[in-house]
Amino acid sequence: MPVTHKMPTGKNTGIFLCLGILVAASMSAGCTALFPAMQNTMPGTGVLPGNETRPVTENCTFDHEMENLEIRQPGLDSCYFETHSPMEYLNGLRLYPDRPVLVPGVPDDWITPRDAELLMQVIDSTEPAAPVVSPISSYWPVNQTSTVGNEALFLIEGYRAGHYPPSLCSLHYFKPDRSEVRMWWDRYGKRGLPDERDAIRIVQETWPDLRDYSPGHLTLKTIGTQKAPDGWYVAFIQEGSGVPIISARCYHVSNDRTVRQTGLLNHSIMVQRGDFSPVMCG
């Protein structure tokens, strides 16, 4: 019988963060204004109102962060991201453009569909902003400044990838394609529909043993997809070396992000990779 799972509609982004710098930024901005200096900086870059400010706890202050910097490792306090929205965080990056910010990660579902909508409004902004760095990055942007538009795109990429930061650094490693992002937003994002990358990630989160499969043809464990009106068909294919496909596991991810298994083949399939159908699983 097919196996059916229901995935959450929000994006799953993980762990904790820390930002003495950004707490200071948000405190200096009052923690409520959404880019007060950006409202009409240039055509198409105004920020939509509407994000609710989350309640700030007594300990989530710049003074508290500074008092604890010497007794704990900076970056392990989740207070900031539990009490500030992505737009408030982006405003903090704008207020301190010359200070790279180390971000280990953010809580689950921190970037919401409404946040993505707001972020799309500022992807063309050239106003300076602080670059963001993952703690596992060996690259540190010395004397380099990002932009509000680039950091908005970095957040959107995190929303799409299911984790933030989505790469080692928002500079150097991150090369956004604004045209592709706009196309994704018009086709999938603003309608809340999964795109191809979403569909693959949803299956791999449901069946973690499939995470060593990847799109493309550079390995013997590949992923094939096919768009359907009601979602995506996704096939995880084990190829042989110079022989037809050895095995395949096939799934359907619906537009409401429900995933079900549609086929399982564990023997040699007399079909070449290019002729395989994710819909038929063969």
CA distance 282 to 274: 11
- 89 with 114: CB under 8 angstroms? no
Q: What is the chain's mean pLDDT, rounded? A: 77
pLDDT at 255: 96
Per-residue pLDDT for 62 more than 60?
A: no
Its pTM surpasses 0.85: no
pLDDT of amino acid 271: 74
Q: What is the pLDDT of residues 182-231, one digit of tens each?
A: 999 999 999 999 999 999 999 999 999 999 998 866 678 999 999 999 99
Q: pLDDT, tens digit, for every residue of 167-185?
A: 999 998 899 999 999 999 9
How far apart, in whole angstroms, are the C-alpha atoms of residue 159 and residue 35?
A: 21
Backbone angles phi, psi at 135, to 5 degrees: -65, -15
Please count the CA atoms within 13 angstroms of the CA of 189 that sit on its side-chain side.
Answer: 22
User: Measured between alpha carbons, how far is residue 105 from residues 50, 156, 164 in Å?
Assistant: 24, 14, 6
Q: Please give the sequence-ordered ranges of beta strands (E in DSSP) within 46-169, or none if there are none.
A: 101-102, 128-129, 132-133, 146-147
Task: Using a pLDDT cut of 90, give the percent of the chain over it.
Answer: 46
Write out the H or E segment, with its range, that includes residue 149. helix 148-161
